[in-house]
Amino acid sequence: MSEVTAIAHPNFALVKYWGKADSISNKPAMSSISLTVDSLTSTTNISINVGSTENIWMLNGKEQNDLARISPVLNYLNNISRNNYGCIIKSENNFLTSAGLASSASGIASLVIAYNQFFKLNMSFDQLVEASMIGSGSAPRSLLSGFVILNVEDQVTTRTILEPDEWPLSIIICITDEKEKIVSSREGMEISRKTSPLYQSWLDSNKEDIQIAKSAIAEKNLRRLGEVAEKNCYMMHEVMKTSSPKISYMTKSTNKCIKEIKKIRQDGTDLFFTVDAGPQVKIVCKTGDRDLIKTKFSNKSYITKIMEANIGLGARVIHED
Ligand code: PMV
């Protein structure tokens, strides 16, 4: 085989993780629930770097001098494949990279799936999870479709709770700032774990938030899911803000966007928001309400771009030669 290409979509957490239990395996300190987003894609193509044992990584067409973000994953995979080849890894995102849209989750998941196929490793699902997690704590969730739970209570387990066609919702992504984030999630989480006075109560509230979100998803109750997702999102950002140094991903534009969402809800449309490690706002709504909600944001000066998506599939191979 001369090359393999795999695709993965980012996932947005509704019950979030912010804090690691272990910095080597990268295991999150708390469980999380996400939804995989279909129209945003990361693709990774792997081929052999003929005549060399060196790995080359191109991200969005640019050769990367520093492979630190992917080398722990490559080390894990090389240990299984025991090959002596260098690889050429070409990753492309069709959306903003490192701006709070989970590009690391989809990028890593697509890399793991492409590598597994290229070297015919037949890795078990648990190994795929472990390999992805080393690269990004949220990447295992991008391996799967629909609503996904990453449970870390005893052993790590990752599974789909509901498939995309079982509860077809839409996601509107309001981009408020296209710059790359200054504090990476990995650094930020470590700062919060060590310094935020709210970190322990954030950990303690995880079990209940997971339970509520799970039952809201089982009931397909958008309002209940929205309540717990927004509460969880606010709490994560409070943990960030009370860290030392303070971490702020939400901006004035993020808050203006949230204010508008609350107004639309007061006017009778069911929708909720979530915000991750960046200033962009993700809105979850019924597919039938999507166009109406989009028009409410179409002329807002604090939004630079609006993207839309439905709930998507897990990481998969799309081409081999
Ligand atoms: O481990 P990372 O870099 O994928 O961190 C993800 C952090 C959040 O997006 C803020 C929360 C989450 O659970 O996705």
- Ligand 1 center to residue 169 CA distance, Å? 22
* Residue 299, Cβ density class (10 Å: 0-12 exposed, 13-18 middle, ≥19 buried): exposed
Mean pLDDT confidence for 174-199: 94
Nearest atom in ligand 1 to 26's CA: 1
pLDDT digits (tens, 9 = 90+) for 266-319: 999 999 999 999 999 999 999 999 999 999 999 999 999 999 999 999 999 999
Q: Ligand 1 centroid to 202 CA: how many Å?
A: 15
Instruction: Read off the pLDDT of residues 128-162 as tens digits, 9 standing for 90 and up.
Output: 999 999 999 999 999 999 999 999 998 999 999 99
From the CB of 233, is ligand 1 less than 6 Å away? no
Residue 13 has pLDDT above 90, yes or no: yes
Q: Is the CB of 141 under 6 A from ligand 1?
A: no
Residue 95: the pLDDT is 93
273: tokens are 């928001």
Confidence (pLDDT) at 304: 95
24-50 pLDDT, tens digit per residue, is 889 999 999 999 999 999 999 999 999
Ligand 1: does its nearest atom lie under 6 Å from the Cβ of 29? no
Which residue matches tokens 């973000």?
Answer: 69
pLDDT-based confidence at 166, cuts 50/70/90? Answer: very high
CB 169 near ligand 1, within 6 Å = no
Phi, psi for residue 57 in degrees, rounded to 5:
-120, 120
80-91 confidence digits (pLDDT tens): 999 889 999 999
Tens of pLDDT, residue by residue over 236-257, are 999 999 999 999 999 999 999 9
Reduce the secondary structure of the chain to three states and give it as a string.
Answer: CCEEEEEECCEEEEECCCCECCCCCCCECCCEEEEEECCCCEEEEEEECCCCCCCEEEECCEECCCCCCCHHHHHHHHHHHCCCCCEEEEEEECCCCCCCCCHHHHHHHHHHHHHHHHCCCCCCHHHHHHHHHHHCCCHHHHHCCCEEEEECCCCCEEEEEECHHHCCEEEEEEECCCCCCCCCHHHHHHHHHHHCCCHHHHHHCHHHHHHHHHHHHHHCCHHHHHHHHHHHHHHHHHHHHCCCCCCCCCCHHHHHHHHHHHHHHHCCCCEEEECCCCCCEEEEEEHHHHHHHHHHHCCCCCCCEEEEEEECCCCEEEEEC
| Tokens standing for residue 188 | 């930020």
- Taking residues 54-77, what's their average pLDDT? 96
Pocket test for ligand 1, best of 12, 17, 143, 233 (most atoms within 8 A of CB): 17
Instruction: Write down the mean pLDDT value for the chain.
Output: 96
Do 284 and 258 meet the contact criterion of CB atoms below 8 Å apart? no
138 lines ligand 1 (CB under 6 A): yes
Decide: 289 in ligand 1 pocket, CB within 6 A.
no
Q: Under a CB-based contact definition with an 8 Å cutoff, are residues 87 and 49 in contact?
A: yes
The preferred substitution site among 138, 141, 236 for testing ligand 1, maximizing ligand atoms within 8 Å of CB, is 138
Mutate which of 191, 276, 280 for ligand 1? The one with the most ligand atoms within 8 Å of its CB, which is 276
Question: In angstroms, what is the span from residue 82 Cα to ligand 1's centroid?
Answer: 30
Q: Which residues contact 29 (CB under 8 A, 6 or more apart)?
A: 17, 19, 20, 21, 152, 193, 203
CA of 269 to the centre of ligand 1 (A): 28
According to the model, what pLDDT value does residue 154 have? 86
Reported as a pLDDT band with limits 50, 70 and 90, residue 190 is: very high
Give the pLDDT confidence of 89-136 residue by residue, as tens digits.
999 999 998 888 999 999 999 999 999 999 999 999 999 999 999 999
